[in-house]
Amino acid sequence: MSVHNPDIKRITTHVIQALKNKGEKISALTAYDYSMARLVDAAGVELILVGDSASNVMAGYETTLPITLDQMIYHATSVVRAVKRALVVVDLPFGSYQGNSSEALRSAIRIMKESGAHAVKLEGGLEVKESIMRVLSAGVPVMGHLGLTPQSIYKFGTYAVRAKEEVEARKLIDDAKMLEEIGCFGIVLEKIPAALTKQVSESLTIPTIGIGAGPHADGQILVLHDLLGITKEFKPRFLRRYADLHTVITDAIGHYVDDIKDREFPSPEEAY
Ligand code: KIV
């Protein structure tokens, strides 16, 4: 187990900022359910994201678009019940904030009130500025998300690296500055060139959390099921697998099936 700074009893957005201020990298990971969130929290991860990637890894959809606000609240509630230390951030799902700022505020308030989470995240820059400002004005901490924003996959047409061209990189830098100015406590940078992450991270006072964005972000995030090797087919270059749970789990269950067929389970000791 690796809990850095066991003295910090509860991670707040202020603690996340303090980590950047003192140059300590921030660890972040997704979680979607009670059992996994307990493990992630106990292992010392500072920021747990109830990501809309739940749409892919929990529900089996191809994109993050189908997951609903009610489903995100269900996942977030389970995670919050498990977490004692980490900051819990919840994604506002597609369609719950883009319409107008009142809708964004209503969605954010439902997440905070019904799940007990500590902050929300939403994708985009200038296009969603009004929505972010409205949510912030209600006292809800907001995390931005720039670069590859999976809710816009049908606009991009591909999950390839974003902001390689000057114009898009310039917009990302402007969006990041704007997000900091209006009061976001951090920004996820997804799948952008490492040099751009460095430039953005060094020019902001708030922390950046990277995924596929190189080593210069102030912190790193991965999807839990990818890190654990539960998802086998997804193999982007940025992903480091720390376990092969696909093999561990299928072997264990295969063994169980064999034991039943061979009348090895249950044994007399396992019966009443
Ligand atoms: O939904 C998610 O898991 C995310 C991370 C990839 C940052 O937004």
268 and 206, same domain (yes or no): no
Does the CB atom of residue 55 touch ligand 1 within 6 A? Answer: no
Does the beta carbon of 211 lie inside 6 Å of ligand 1?
yes
Is the distance from CB of 25 to CB of 220 less than 8 angstroms?
Answer: yes
- Look at residue 7 and tell me if it is in a domain: no
Q: Return the number of other C-beta atoms located less than 10 Å from residue 133's C-beta.
A: 15
Q: What phi, psi does 109 have (nearest 5°)?
A: -65, -40
Q: Residue 2: inside a domain, yes or no? A: no
Q: What does the block give as tokens for 51?
A: 């990501």
Q: How far is the CA of 167 from the centre of ligand 1 (A)?
A: 24
Indicate whether 120 belongs to any domain: yes
DSSP class of residue 11 equals -
Are 152 and 268 in the same domain? Answer: no
For residues 204 and 271, membership in a common domain is answered with no
Ligand 1, atom 4, lies closest to the CA of: 51
Count of structural domains within the chain: 2
What digits encode the pLDDT tens for the residues 214-256?
999 999 999 999 999 998 888 999 999 999 999 999 999 999 9
Tell whether 266 is covered by a domain: yes
Write the residue with the smallest CA distance to atom 8 of ligand 1. Answer: 51
Alpha-carbon gap, residue 272 to 264, rounded angstroms? 16
**What is the Å distance from ligand 1's center to 97 Cα?**
17
Which range marks the domain in which residue 87 is found?
A: 13-241
Q: Do 234 and 272 fall within a single domain?
A: no
What is the distance in A from the centroid of ligand 1 to the CA of 51?
A: 5
Residue identified by tokens 């957005």 is 13
Evaluate if residue 176 carries a pLDDT over 80: yes
What spacing in Å lies between the alpha carbon of 55 and ligand 1's midpoint?
A: 11
Nearest ligand 1 atom to alpha carbon 150? 8
CB of 175 sitting under 6 A from ligand 1: no
**Torsions phi, psi for 122 (to 5 deg):** -145, 155
State if residue 89 touches ligand 1 by the CB under 6 angstroms criterion.
no
Q: Tens of pLDDT along 190-206? A: 999 999 999 999 999 99
- One domain, residues 110 and 136: yes
**Which amino acid does the sequence have at 251?**
D
With a 6 A CB cut-off, is 52 part of the ligand 1 pocket? yes
Question: Residues with catalytic annotation?
Answer: 190
Q: Could you tell me if 24 and 131 lie in one domain?
A: yes
208 plus 254 within the same structural domain: no
* Same domain for 252 and 210: no
Tokens of 23: 């140059």
**Does residue 5 lie within any of the structural domains?**
no
Across 134-138, 147-151, 234-238, least confident range: 234-238
Which two structure tokens, joined as six digits, stand for 251? 């072997």
Ligand 1 pocket, 223 CB below 6 A?
yes
51 Cβ closer than 6 Å to some ligand 1 atom: yes
**What does pLDDT average to over the chain?**
97
Q: Is the pLDDT of residue 1 over 80?
A: no
168 and 262 both lie in a single domain: no
Q: How far is the CA of 23 from the centre of ligand 1 (A)?
A: 23
% of the chain exceeding 90 in pLDDT: 95
Asked if 145 and 262 sit in the same domain, the reply is: no
